[in-house]
Structure 1
Amino acid sequence: MSSLTLVHARYQLVELSRIPMAIIGAAFFPAASLFFFVVPNTKGDPAGATLATASMVVFAAMISNLFGHGTGVAEDRSQPWDPYTRTLPIGPAVRFGSRIITGLAMMLFSMVPVVIVAAIFTPATISPVRFLLAIGVVIIVSVPFTMMGLAIGYLLSTKAAIATVQLVFLPLAFAGGLLGGPGEAPGFIETIAPFVPTRGSAELMWATVGDFEINPVSIVSLVVWTVGLAALAFYAYQRDEGRRYH
């Protein structure tokens, strides 16, 4: 990782710090969802609370990356600063890398309230080793949502990106069974769940923090989604570059 990538990431983090509501919003919604959807239903069930908290962690990762990259990139493209940075001899790797680092930092920050709410209001438990593994896993499972956010941000205008993200994130959460633990979603949701990226991400988290057997179909689907979304994000960037700067 180049020092130039870190410089750009630091600039983006400083820029975000000047918009406190954006940071608060990213951290509030997943924690509020945990409080209203999980806390009332997991009292006296440590294993269930732990798995449901893992679901909310994936939910937080999805929201943070879709809003952070989807609306963030689209908004940046509408500002005078973005055309200037495109003229610098840094290449797409630095821009992509700095955005991903910024997104990871915001994503991890958004999970702090989720962990705090789970620790205080639920019987969820996790060993230090599993907790550290979970941090690594959530970074991995955030990749498809990062790519989805980047694709939306580079393909659409600011207004269209905001609307698209709002239309996408809740259906993905419901379809993947994120608003609860394994087996708690309705039957038709459990049928389609293995074919959406949220389910594969959730199952990896469930297996990391608890006793859960992963469905291979969910993991294959997650890999296919990740590769496809990465290709779409690269295409979106190249398309935007060709239309606006060549």
Structure 2
Amino acid sequence: MSTAAILQPSKTNVPRIFRKESRYEFVKLTRTRSFSLATIGFPVMFYIIFGLANRHAFDGNVHMAKYMLAGYACFGLIGAALFGIGVGLSSDLAAGWLELKRASPMPVSAYLFAKCSSAVAFGIIIVSILTIIGTSFGDVHLSPAELAKMLGITIVGSISFASMGLLIALLVPANAAPGIINLIYLPMSFLSGLWVPIKFMPHWLQGIAPLLPTYHLSQLMLGIFHYGDTMSLITHWNALIGFTLVMLGISRIIFHRKEQNA
């Protein structure tokens, strides 16, 4: 039997490899307190401070605590995806860990799948905690259908912004990745109305929001509660899908150039 055949995993082992790699990646992130506590803690803390403070506030038919639940849910899941993929993958590249993985029988796709699935898992955890807080202490009422749609948007949003995290990891050195992500993530979150409703911002800032992928994700989440803007949901879906494809396309080009120059 050739060496290549020995190193090539059998088809029956591939699902097991994907499952184990995802499990170990999730456990690693959970045990990395600087990631898990901050990623979960910040959106929860902000929602407790600002969301619960508006549990009795209404703007017309809009319940502000419910509105902010959607905003901070997006804020949390985006952070989990960007930091989990962007910082994690960048650190692995700098340490040569990805090269070691590629030399093993494990498919590279299993590594990327594990990163993405862990980001999705953290996104679901964050949204679930925020939902429990909102329904328990913020007078927020959610139907089972609304909760299911929120979790669905969480999965889609996590995958979409994982593509952005991938691009950042390929472009930015490991020691600069956290700072660069914050410089991108925090302004985008604010300008997209994830912290403060868009209508309360100056008009010139309101015009920037539709240019940002974070805005389109938040409108899809707000659309579950019928709190979205006047644009159609198809427009928001197309914008988010287009953003994801662009991020993946650029990442693919950069990755192949790195391969050729290696």
Please indicate, yes or no, whether the TM-score normalized by the shorter chain is above 0.5: yes
Q: How do 1:202-217 and structure 2 match up within 5 A?
A: 202-213=218-229, 215-216=231-232, 217=235
Unaligned runs of 5+ in 2: 1-13
Match 1:25 to one of 38, 41, 65: 38
SS state at 1:188 partner = helix
| Residue 242 of structure 2 is aligned to residue 229 of structure 1 | no
Q: Pick one of 118, 121, 142 that aligns with 1:102.
A: 118
Equivalent pair of 1:174/1:189 in contact (CA under 8 Å): no
Change (3 A) 1:175 1:83: same
Kept in 2: contact 1:55–1:178 (CA 8 A): yes
Match of residue 29, structure 2, among 16, 21, 44: 16
Q: C-alpha separation between the residues in 2 aligned to 1:36 and 1:185?
A: 20
2:190–2:196 CA contact under 8 A, matched in 1:
no
Q: For the structure 1 residues 218 and 194, does the alpha-carbon distance in structure 2 shift closer, same or farther, using more than 3 Å as the test?
A: farther
Report if the CA contact (8 A) 1:50-1:124 is conserved.
Answer: yes
CA distance in 2 between counterparts of 1:214 and 1:200 reads 12
When residues 180 and 240 of structure 1 are mapped into structure 2, their CA distance, relative to the original with a 3 A threshold, is: same
In structure 1, runs of 5+ residues without a counterpart are: none
* TM-score, normalising length: structure 1: 0.88
Q: Secondary structure at the match of 2:228?
A: coil
Say yes or no: does 1:238 pair with 2:256.
yes
Q: 1:237 to 1:43 in 2, by over 3 A?
A: farther
Alignment RMSD: 2.2
Q: Distance in 1 between matches of 2:133 and 2:201?
A: 22
What does residue range 46-85 of structure 1 map to in structure 2 within 5 Å? 47-85=63-101
- Counterpart check, 1:128 vs 2:141: no
Percent identical among aligned pairs is: 23
2:165 aligns with: 149
Rounded to whole Å, the distance in 2 between the matches of 1:57 and 1:179 is 10
SS of equivalent residue, structure 1 residue 33: helix
- Alignment coverage as a number of residue pairs: 244
Q: What is the alpha-carbon distance in structure 1 between the residues aligned to residue 30 and residue 75 of structure 2? A: 22
Contact 2:127 2:154 in 1 (8 A): no
Larger RCO, structure (CA 8 Å, separation 6 or more): 1
Give secondary structure in 2 for the equivalent of 1:158.
coil
Residue by residue over 1:79-127, the C-alpha shift from the partner in whole angstroms, topping out at 9 and shown as x without a partner, is: 3533210212444322221211111112222333322332233222110
Who is 2:56 aligned against? 43
Q: More displaced, 58-67 or 230-239?
A: 230-239
Say whether 1:201 aligns with 2:217.
yes
CA, structure 1 residues 128+139, in 2 after alignment: closer, same or farther (shift >3 Å)?
same
| Structure-1 residue corresponding to 2:11 | none
